[in-house]
Amino acid sequence: MLHTLRARWSDFPDHERRLIEARILRGPDQGDEEEPGEYARRKASSAATIFGWLLRDECDISQAVQDELPRLREANPNWRSSWDASADHDWEARGGSVKANTDASKIIDAPLAEIASLAEQHSSHPFGEFTEYRPFDGLVKERPLRALSALSFQARKAHYPTRLWRSALSDWPDDTSDRLRWLFANRLIRLPPRVVFDLRYNISRWFKTNFQKIDKTKYQTHLPLWDALVDYFFVLGPEGNESSRGDASVGGRPLNRSRRTYDHSIASPVGELIAWRPLARLRRRCRFRPRCGGRWQSRRGFLRSAAALVRPLGQGPRQRYRPRASGARLRDGRRLRA
């Protein structure tokens, strides 16, 4: 009805507009058990919201109603100016799937210094809509180098928008060059600890996924990045390496099952890195070649103490696990704790 009024408001003669205004002021009917004071507030709020919505759309209402509008708004102490914009919203329950709109046209050609602020400004999920607007996701997919340059520009000002960094990690294209992956990895290991903590699951998954795409003849060149990231996660401590798997429950009651399992271990940030395939080859290589180089020996020791945190005690679908030997030590000399 409101949209029809807005479309035809200028076509109504003055006396018909006054009749419509009088009907809006009369408000809805009073409920059977509604208190007079509550009904007066509801009626005033309804009229104030509708008139405010018409004014927002530049509909010409009478001067008498404009003079009455402040009193109508004051009748409800909880009144907010945002109510005017939502007067035409349908508040009935609805259901559906949320679609992500990754159109980057509003930020893709913006100056480098303004991309991050524009991306945060245009990233939203309006209440009541089934569309979430994420333009930075589209920029990462279309022009990953420009997206990384925008994040690096903000990093030089000690500004690290976590939401945008998470978007870059989650939507990184599969067809980027090894050189660009290496550049992004270097940026990641230089993030402050608090940012790494917030992005710990995304960073570990990105390293696990993207290092597997590096040419097999080059991955040893990039292993120092892997070493730096692993050391970073150990510095974060136990809180930074908790498993992303939650506790199982039935009927709201937790089952209190052991978390010392293989599935829980590999779902932690360090567990994601341990599952990297070249490290599995490293374990086999150093098993039969005890005289590996210094770096390989260091990683072999790390794998012994951290890569297999649990050891199966049984076979079959319901395996039980126990921690690795408690005397194992990490590369920095600290004792491993299960």
Say which residues have a Cβ less than 8 Å from residue 333's Cβ, sequence separation at least 6: none
pLDDT confidence of residue 191: 92
Model-wide pTM > 0.95: no
270 domain-assigned: no
Contact 70, 81 (CB under 8 A): no
28 domain-assigned: yes
Domain span at 81: 2-85
Q: Rounded to the nearest 5°, which phi and psi values hold at 179?
A: -65, -40
Say which residues have a Cβ less than 8 Å from residue 297's Cβ, sequence separation at least 6: 286
pLDDT confidence of residue 326: 35
- Of the three residues 125, 157, 189, the one that is the final residue of a domain is 157
Average pLDDT per run of 10 along the chain, which is 338 residues long? 80 86 87 85 86 82 86 83 71 72 92 94 80 93 95 94 94 90 90 90 87 67 77 76 76 75 74 65 51 51 47 35 36 40
- Taking the C-alpha atoms of residue 37 and residue 292, their distance in angstroms, rounded to an integer, is 85
pLDDT confidence of residue 158: 93
| Total number of domains in the chain | 2
pLDDT confidence of residue 334: 43
Query: Do 146 and 74 share a structural domain?
Result: no
Query: Do 113 and 77 share a structural domain?
Result: no
State both tokens at 170.
């989650």
Query: Do 63 and 103 share a structural domain?
Result: no
pLDDT confidence of residue 278: 57
- 135-170 as b/e, with b when 16 or more CB fall inside 10 Å? bbbbbbeeebebbbebbebbbeeeebbeebbbbbbe
197 domain-assigned: no
Query: Do 107 and 67 share a structural domain?
Result: no
242-266, pLDDT tens digit by residue? 777 777 778 778 777 776 676 777 7
75 domain-assigned: yes
State both tokens at 232.
């970073």
